[in-house]
Structure 1
Amino acid sequence: MVAGERWNGYDRNLFVHWTDEDADGCDTRREVLLRDAHSDLRVDGGPECRIVSGVWYSPYDDAWVEGSPAGLHIDHVVPLQEAWDSGAHAWDPGRRRAFANDPGGLAAVTAGINTAKGADDPAQWMPPNPHHRCAYIASWIAIKFRWDLTVDGREAGYLRDLLSGECRGLTVGWASAPTAPDRG
């Protein structure tokens, strides 16, 4: 649904995130790192679910990260502030917590690219990797739909332009983890 955004009252602390929903010792951040690792994953055998190293692909900037996951952020594809502005301000704390920890709305990406994205919507920021732009839009739309979040007029116009141009014929399904190209 197209509607104006609410641009006040946001506080990141209203979205409790990086919780251990399944009580397995791994918080949501670590669960995404485990899910998105491509190879050479090494986890400390202790009870803290400490991920020591691995190989990850950051689709936004087409970058491979090898070794420590310290240079990775877990991106909320639809940023928490954007969710707030688009309807999450009316949610109860439990729904905000569920959104903030929804693996279908999270991706492991390089810290720099996540910082560059900030809380922007696609009309303001798109992944610089041209091969991931349509997948990013598909995830964005699916997340907004699944969580019943609105899009503002500028955002809707930008999405329409992409869907009738660069991303013509795009099929939008449930948000899922991004896929990496073959390394070579």
Structure 2
Amino acid sequence: MAGGDLYGRGRASKLPAGIWVLFGAIALSLSAVVAVPLVAALGAIPAPGHASAGIEATPSPTDDSSGLSPSASPTLSPSDEAPGVNADALALLAQIPDSPGKSIAQYYREQFGQAWFDQDRNGCDTRNDILRRDLSEVVLKDGTNGCKVLAGRLLDPYTGETVDFQSGASTSAEVQIDHIVPLAWAWRQGAEKWTFEDRMAFANDPANLLASIGRVNQAKSDSGPSEWLPPAESARCMYAEKFVAVVSEWRLGINRADRSALERILLACT
């Protein structure tokens, strides 16, 4: 036969293709018989960091109780950073624009209009409106349509002290009305550009006013939160929340130092 005889004398024999196919099938069958139990045995060995039934895995050095490595820790939101944090106030604070805290013109109280002007036209000046709101055991003067406060008792919002108020030339100053956001501070943060009418409305906004012990109000003066905080730590969250709310409502700016101070206070609130 061409290329060699049937028995392959003197050269490599050539088998028909069908014979090679048969050999291949036999080899695959033998491989399957051996592989199946081997795979089953290997499957009983757990992978690092995982446990299979009946076998406890040894945690890797980067495992912690959360299942995350230190480099994979999630980004915290304000509500995650401190329990009870006032997220609303922090969100408002974040929206308030930055301000250099400087004005072109000098501040004068008269730029905010008549002190304690009857802004709401209820027939009573703003000072007496706030005294009636914030004092307890209020005594009113006859013939003033329930306006003039003669006496009362104040629980000071900044110290927690109690003081008796008595109207009079030498005693009225013991209880004063504080602008939470001081007028001079507001002037430096944008109120300089307001109309006179807007400044007068701001000066008499009840949301920005609190009755307070006179010496505390005098110590606060026109300071922002980076320079003054309520003596009672328990009052600082209230103060910060109100300060932010007023600044946001009146679309004022805020300087860097006061923003940082407010952030620290609000993050510590519980």
TM-score range normalised by the length of the shorter chain: 0.7 to 0.9
Amino acid at match of 2:249: R
Q: Where does residue 6 of structure 1 map in the other structure?
A: 102
Q: How many residues align?
A: 166
Q: Where does residue 224 of structure 2 map in the other structure?
A: 121
Shift of 1:46: 2.1
Structure that is richer in strand per residue:
1
Q: Where does residue 15 of structure 2 map in the other structure?
A: none
CA RMSD in angstroms comes to 1.5
SS at match of 1:162: helix
Q: Where does residue 33 of structure 1 map in the other structure?
A: 131
Specify which of 151, 162, 175 is matched with residue 72 of structure 1: 175
Higher relative contact order (CA 8 A, sep 6+): 1
Q: For 2:204 and 2:230, locate their aligned partners in 1 and report how far apart those are by CA, in whole Å.
A: 22
CA contact under 8 A between 2:141 and 2:148: conserved in structure 1?
A: yes
1:91 lines up with 2:194 in the alignment:
yes
1:60 lines up with 2:166 in the alignment:
no
Q: Where does residue 149 of structure 2 map in the other structure?
A: 51
Q: Structure 1-normalised TM-score?
A: 0.85
CA contact under 8 A between 1:25 and 1:47: conserved in structure 2?
A: no
Q: Deviations over 1:19-78 (max 9, x none)?
A: 11343431000000011122x211111238331111111111211122415111100000
Bigger Rg, structure 1 or 2: 2
Amino acid at match of 1:74: I
1:82 lines up with 2:172 in the alignment:
no
Specify which of 205, 209, 214 is matched with residue 102 of structure 1: 205
Structure that is richer in helix per residue:
2
Q: For 2:121 and 2:263, locate their aligned partners in 1 and report how far apart those are by CA, in whole Å.
A: 41
Q: For 1:60 and 1:161, locate their aligned partners in 2 and report how far apart those are by CA, in whole Å.
A: 18
CA contact under 8 A between 2:119 and 2:201: conserved in structure 1?
A: no
CA contact under 8 A between 2:139 and 2:151: conserved in structure 1?
A: yes
Higher deviation after alignment, 137-146 or 24-33? 24-33
Shift in CA distance, 109/67, structure 1 to aligned 2, threshold 3 Å: closer
CA contact under 8 A between 2:175 and 2:212: conserved in structure 1?
A: yes
Specify which of 131, 134, 137 is matched with residue 240 of structure 2: 137
Shift of 1:159: 1.6
Q: For 2:121 and 2:262, locate their aligned partners in 1 and report how far apart those are by CA, in whole Å.
A: 38
CA contact under 8 A between 1:73 and 1:108: conserved in structure 2?
A: yes
CA contact under 8 A between 2:158 and 2:232: conserved in structure 1?
A: yes
Q: For 2:112 and 2:254, locate their aligned partners in 1 and report how far apart those are by CA, in whole Å.
A: 20
SS at match of 1:42: strand
Matches within 5 A, 1:149-160: 149-160=252-263
SS at match of 1:73: strand
CA contact under 8 A between 2:99 and 2:255: conserved in structure 1?
A: yes
Amino acid at match of 2:101: E
Amino acid at match of 2:243: W
Higher deviation after alignment, 82-91 or 63-72? 63-72
